[in-house]
Amino acid sequence: MEVGTYTPVRVGAQVLTEEAIAEELQYHPAAQLDEAWQAAATSLVVKTLLEQRAAQLGIEAASEEERTALLLERDMQVPDPTEAQCLHYFQSNRQRFQTPVLLAVSHILLPAAPDDVQQRDQQRILATQLLRQLQADADSFTALAQQYSACPSSGQGGSLGQLSKGQTVEEFERQVWRLPVGLAEQPVETRFGFHLVHVDQRVEGEPLEYEHVATRIRQYLHEQVTRRALSQYLQVLGAEIGVEGIAFSL
């Protein structure tokens, strides 16, 4: 939104001030100011709609959250998903319900600061040299890890143990999870430096039985239905009370 072009936003007879929307901006970061402004204004519109509806019904509570909960409990009836719906979702999304893939990984970390070009060049050369040694003698990994690695795992010959996704930095995970079992053909570069990686073992995920995930599925489906119902409820409420000065959509 450009300075000096504010269009008053009204919810029923209530005007949302430019200052109030500007204060709300801090909770809605976005690449463009217009996007942030729209998000902030929409958030205040929703809050005001709920306040006005609660006032219409005479709903009072100690906090805004409690008042909103009482209002939605009265106005929104969200059915629980049936067993058939849960089972259908499970059968249609079997790939989502597996034990995590596990990798047993060892590495040798040659440290280099992200902004130290000279150090990174030197460590890249060293990584290439050590990789050649490992390709010629795979059994030397433990000794080289103890000698060169800057990771505390050097005391265990570079072993990081079994890892699941989310346990290492993103750039390491992204590269290592693609590797086959054995010595990686190229060093893995991250913000910490260069890693010589050996995938010791890969344990593929196993399918989970429905009984183990039924509660999770039921909760997920209920949340999805609730989200859609809330969006529809607010749209109807906005049409009944009246919203002006903003393209109100959820």
Per-residue pLDDT band at 1 (split at 50, 70, 90): low
State the first-to-last Cα distance of the chain, in angstroms, to the nearest integer: 20
pTM over 0.95: no
102-203 — its CATH code? 3.10.50.40
Q: Where are the beta strands (DSSP E) in 18-155?
A: 102-111
**Which residues lie below 8 Å from residue 30, measured CB to CB, with a gap of 6+?**
36, 39
pLDDT (tens digit per residue) in 42-94: 999 999 999 999 999 999 999 999 999 999 999 998 999 999 999 999 999 99
pLDDT (tens digit per residue) in 112-132: 999 999 999 999 999 999 999
pLDDT (tens digit per residue) in 209-223: 999 999 999 999 999
CA distance 235 to 31: 26
Per-residue pLDDT band at 4 (split at 50, 70, 90): low
Stretch among 1-15, 79-93, 164-178, 189-203 having the lowest mean pLDDT: 1-15
CA distances from 243 to 45, 198, 221 (A): 8, 60, 31
Collapsing DSSP to helix, strand or coil, 14 comes out as strand
**Sequence spans of domains, the chain:** 9-81+214-244, 102-203
Arithmetic mean of pLDDT over the chain? 94
CA distance 122 to 243: 63
* Residue in 73, 26, 16 with CA at minimum distance from that of residue 46: 16
Collapsing DSSP to helix, strand or coil, 176 comes out as helix
Tokens of 195: 């890693």
